[in-house]
Amino acid sequence: MNRPALSIIVTTMNEEGTIERCTRRIFDVLDGECEVLVIDGGSDRTGDIVRKLANEFPRLRYIHNENDRGKGHAVRIGIEAARADIMAQIDGDLQFLPEELPRLVEPIRKGCADVTLGSRFTKGSIRNPGGAPWHRAIGNRTISLYTSLLCGQRMTDVLAGMKAWTRAAAEAMQLRCDHASYDAEVPVRALSRSMRVVDVPISTDARKSGRSKVKVIPVGLKLLRDIALIRFDLM
């Protein structure tokens, strides 16, 4: 099998209700040029569904993260397993649309970026009804502004579960965060290493199955602390 041009890392935690649709939609828009790695830390039927789909999609791989320590840990496992020189990460709950992946990686393919951040809050983005509640949107914007001030570059959405980077960027960033701080860690470490980080407008949808596992207030406070520690290389 030829080496893929793009590796898509799908992080899941009990997403049996969405993983088949998510996987099929990724291959619908990127078939023939990508591999898909599902990194699963859950205990539901996600693994069974993906293994069955792999009979239909030879470039689909399932990795059960037995020692799951969080989303950031899952992404690092995906980076280690990825075969392509460009990688993208997307959450498996279908709040972020697989159809946006070509747009997400376009600046990297054109040589204009090392890292791209899917943004729900920049010009051209679309947030469909039923998405994140207003208080979470305000929290996301606040954390993005805080991160922008610390890093010296305006970023509109550091917490979206849809990002892309080159292999060289992944190696240079040396990601370490296991849990929710991973999303902000990517741009902070990239900018601290003088990489080109670009916001890309994306569309989002309401969650299709299950519910968010994030506890907003304690996670938000931890994020503020962790972002500062990462920025000054103390974490």
| pLDDT tens string 157-172 | 999 999 999 999 999 9
Total number of residues shown for the chain: 235
- DSSP letters, 126-173, are EE-TTSS-HHHHHHHHHHHHHHHHHHTS--S-TT-SEEEEEHHHHHHH
- Using CA atoms, how far residue 194 sits from 80, 113, 173, 219, in Å, is 23, 11, 10, 28
CATH topology for 6-231 is: Spore Coat Polysaccharide Biosynthesis Protein SpsA; Chain A (3.90.550)
> What's the chain's average pLDDT?
93
Which three-class secondary structure state does DSSP give residue 94? Answer: coil
Report the distance separating Cα 37 and Cα 226, nearest Å.
28
Q: What are phi and psi of 93, to 5 degrees?
A: -95, 0
Q: Is the pLDDT of residue 213 over 80?
A: no
Amino acid found at 56: E
Tens-place pLDDT, residues 99-130? 999 999 999 999 999 999 999 999 999 877 66
